Amino acid sequence: MSALRWLLLLLIAPGVVIGQEFSTGPVIKDFGPVVTVPAADFNLVPGTVYRVLLDVASGSREQHALNRGLESAARFLNMHARAGIDPADLQIEIVTHGGTSFDVLSDAAYRERFGRDNPNTALLAALAEAGVVIRQCGQSAAFHGVRAEELAPGVSMAVSAMTVMARRRSEGWVRVN
Going along the chain from its start, the domains and CATH numbers come out as 23-176 (3.40.1260.10)
Phi then psi dihedrals of residue 29, to 5 deg: -65, -35
d(CA 28, CA 12): 27
Model confidence at 4, pLDDT cuts 50, 70, 90, reads low
Count of alpha carbons within 13 Å of 82, Cβ hemisphere only? 22
pLDDT at 12: 52
Report whether 52 contacts 92 (CB < 8 A).
yes
The model's pTM: 0.86
Residue 34 per-residue DSSP state: B
Give the lowest-confidence range in 10-14, 41-45, 53-57, 77-81: 10-14
Q: What percent of the chain has pLDDT over 70?
A: 89
pLDDT at 177: 83
User: In this predicted model, which residue has the larger pLDDT, 50 or 61?
Assistant: 50
Give the lowest-confidence range in 38-42, 53-57, 106-110, 136-140: 38-42
d(CA 126, CA 29): 8
pLDDT at 123: 98
Q: Give the CA diameter of the chain.
A: 60
Model confidence at 60, pLDDT cuts 50, 70, 90, reads confident
d(CA 79, CA 20): 13
The order of strands in the sheet holding 90-96 is 155-158, 133-137, 90-96, 50-56, 174-176
pLDDT digits (tens, 9 = 90+) for 108-149: 999 999 999 999 999 999 999 999 999 999 999 999 999 999
Closest CA to 26 of 82, 85, 86: 82
